[in-house]
Amino acid sequence: MRSLASPRVQPSALRQATARAVLKLSTQAIHERLHGHPDLAQLAAGTIGRADYRRVLARSYGFYAVAEPKLGLGREATRSLCEDLIDLGMSASAVANLPCCARLTIGQGPAELIGARYVLLGASLGGKVMARAIAGRASGEPALPVRFLTGTGANDWKTFAADLEAKLPDAGSRARAAKAATAVFAAYERWMERV
């Protein structure tokens, strides 16, 4: 199993960085490792097959079904995953019975919640890139559903990112947010290793 720890970022660099930079630096190693995940790499390259795509979405469903309500994000991604999985041939009852990851432990404060949301809302940016990649798949192949990857407007990344500095105004709140973001990213990485 790969190490889940991020490379050591100099504390002085984090104290002087913006909230967004602190979150990005703190989660960078896990984020880069996820780019190397075989199925996620194929998805990003637009070369993933239908069965592998369904398996990745099914596994993602098991994470988002737990993470979204825990983070107060509603269930939009979970609903989109369900609809995509049904379009890929699963029944609604099969989707509802998919395994879910263990509970997430992120801490109780507002900074921790912001850090955890950073991961899920930030993933929507990568999802849009992946959706464009699979839209360019070879002609003649059935289109893959991309509701989950393209997301919806309710959990808007731009709005979230615009308020980061105000919501994480000092080094302490940024450190707590970064710890929570790293924990959520690590939980997702562990969960996806079983795909």
Give me the CATH number covering residue 188: 1.20.910.10
Confidence band (pLDDT; 50, 70, 90) for 193? confident
In a domain, 160, yes or no: yes
In a domain, 11, yes or no: no
Q: pTM for the complete prediction? A: 0.86
pLDDT value of residue 54: 96
pLDDT value of residue 163: 86
Q: By residue range, what is the domain housing residue 164?
A: 16-192
In a domain, 9, yes or no: no
In a domain, 7, yes or no: no
Q: Computed from CA positions of residues 69, 72, 75, 78, in that sequence, does the dihedral angle turn out positive or negative?
A: negative
Confidence band (pLDDT; 50, 70, 90) for 6? very low
Among 1-15, 21-35, 135-149, which is the least confidently predicted range? 1-15
Q: State pLDDT tens for residues 92-142.
A: 999 999 999 987 888 889 999 999 999 998 888 888 889 999 986 665 678
In a domain, 10, yes or no: no
Nearest to 125 by CA among 160, 102, 151, 159: 151
How many CA atoms does the CB half-sphere of 41 hold within 13 Å?
A: 7
Structural domains in the chain (count):
1
In a domain, 3, yes or no: no
